[in-house]
Amino acid sequence: MQISRTLAVLASLSTGSAHTIFVQLGSGGTTYGVSYAIRTPSYDGPQTDVTSRNLACNGPPNPTTPSDKIIQVTAGTNVSAIWRHTLESGPNDVMDPGHKGPILAYLKKVTDAKTDPGVGDGWFKIQEGGYSNGVWATDTVINNRGIQTIPIPECIANGQYLLRAEMIALHGARSVNGAQLYMECAQINITGGTGAASPKTYSIPGIYKATDPGLLIDIYNTKAPFHYVIPGPPMFTCP
Ligand SMILES: *[C@@H]1O[C@H](CO)[C@@H](O)[C@H](O)[C@H]1NC(C)=O
Ligand SMILES: *[C@@H]1O[C@H](CO)[C@@H](O)[C@H](O)[C@H]1NC(C)=O
Ligand SMILES: [Cu+2]
Find the ligand nearest to 153 CA. 1
Residue 218 CA to residue 175 CA, distance in Å, equals: 8
Nearest CA to ligand 2 atom 14: 189
User: How confident is residue 3, by pLDDT bands cut at 50, 70 and 90?
Assistant: very low
User: How confident is residue 225, by pLDDT bands cut at 50, 70 and 90?
Assistant: confident
Strand-pairing partners, residue 104, are 128, 166
Residue, of 215 and 13, whose pLDDT is higher: 215
Domain ranges of the chain: 19-204
Return the beta strands (E) in the chain as ranges: 21-27, 30-31, 71-74, 78-84, 103-109, 120-129, 131-132, 135-136, 147-151, 159-169, 180-191, 202-204
* Pocket test residue of 73, 80, 149, 155 for ligand 1, highest count of atoms within 8 A of CB: 149
- How many angstroms is it from 101 CA to the middle of ligand 1? 22
Q: Per residue in 151-167, pLDDT tens?
A: 999 999 999 999 999 99
Residue 82 φ then ψ, to 5°? -110, 125
Q: Is 151 in the pocket of ligand 1 (CB under 6 A)?
A: yes
pLDDT exceeding 90 applies to what percent of the chain? Answer: 90
Residue 19 CA to residue 93 CA, distance in Å, equals: 10
pLDDT of 16 over the 80 cut? no
Nearest CA to ligand 2 atom 3: 191
Residue 183 CA to residue 169 CA, distance in Å, equals: 11
pLDDT of 18 over the 90 cut? no
User: How confident is residue 224, by pLDDT bands cut at 50, 70 and 90?
Assistant: confident
Mean pLDDT of 109-138: 97
Q: Per residue in 140-151, pLDDT tens?
A: 999 999 999 999
Give the contacts of 29 (CB within 8 A, at least 6 positions apart).
Answer: none
Q: Are strands 147-151 and 21-27 parallel, antiparallel or unpaired?
A: unpaired
The sign one gets for the Cα dihedral 55, 60, 65, 68 is: positive
pTM of the predicted protein model? 0.93
Nearest CA to ligand 1 atom 10: 78
Q: Is 26 in the pocket of ligand 1 (CB under 6 A)?
A: no
Find the ligand nearest to 98 CA. 3
Architecture of the domain spanning 19-204: Distorted Sandwich (2.70)
Cis previous bond, 61, omega within 30: yes
Q: Per residue in 177-215, pLDDT tens?
A: 999 999 999 999 999 999 999 999 999 999 999 999 999
Nearest CA to ligand 2 atom 11: 189
Adjacency order of strands within the sheet including 21-27: 30-31, 21-27, 78-84, 147-151
Q: Is 238 in the pocket of ligand 2 (CB under 6 A)?
A: no
